[in-house]
Amino acid sequence: MATSSTDADLVDNTHAFFITCFHLRDWLQSDTSVPQSVRVDAPMLVKTDASLQICADLANGLKHLVLTQPLKVGAPVSLSSGNPPTVHDAGGASLGDAAVIADQCIAAWNALLKSRGLL
């Protein structure tokens, strides 16, 4: 199946979202103006929230040729090039619609930031 430029843009934007979403963890850990509890809780949230685990593995898989950190999900994940983009594990099983996982990631970050008075 041919991928239209609109589909390719959607996949590129989805990749960009997951990379940026995951790196919020790094930003929160490094920002000394953020309360210490948030700096500690941000990486814990990524370790415990299923959507952020998928996000982390997608982001790291997209950015790095060779992964040096253990996978959060336990197996490599990838994003389909279809519309809508879908996240799959290494065996090809669907982990869900990328937009739904993205919404879950946003909700997880919002919950943490709101609970600390940062939103």
Q: Copy the structure tokens of residue 66.
A: 């060779």
Which residue range is the domain that position 65 belongs to? Answer: 5-115
Q: Are the CB atoms for 108 and 114 separated by under 8 Å?
A: no
pTM: 0.86
Structure tokens given for 26: 């790094």
What is the reported pLDDT for 98? 94
Render pLDDT for 15-46 as a digit per residue (tens, 0 to 9). 999 999 999 999 999 999 999 999 999 999 99
**Residues linked to residue 87 through DSSP beta bridges, in sequence order:** 79, 96
As a whole number of angstroms, the distance between CA 41 and CA 75 comes to 24
pLDDT of residue 8: 82
* Cβ–Cβ under 8 Å, residues 84 and 97: yes
User: How many distinct structural domains can be found in the chain?
Assistant: 1
pLDDT at 61: 79
Is 17 within 8 Å of 58 (Cβ atoms)? Answer: no
More reliable by pLDDT, 7 or 103: 103
Instruction: Report how far residue 89's alpha carbon sits from residue 85's, in angstroms, rounded to the nearest whole number.
Output: 13
Give residue 2's pLDDT: 45
* pLDDT band of 3, cuts 50, 70, 90: very low
Q: What is the pLDDT of residues 62-112, one digit of tens each?
A: 776 555 666 666 667 788 877 888 998 888 888 999 999 999 999 999 999
Q: 76 — phi, psi (to 5°)?
A: -55, 145
**For position 11, what pLDDT does the model report?**
84
Q: Which pLDDT score, from 0 to 100, does residue 22 have?
A: 95
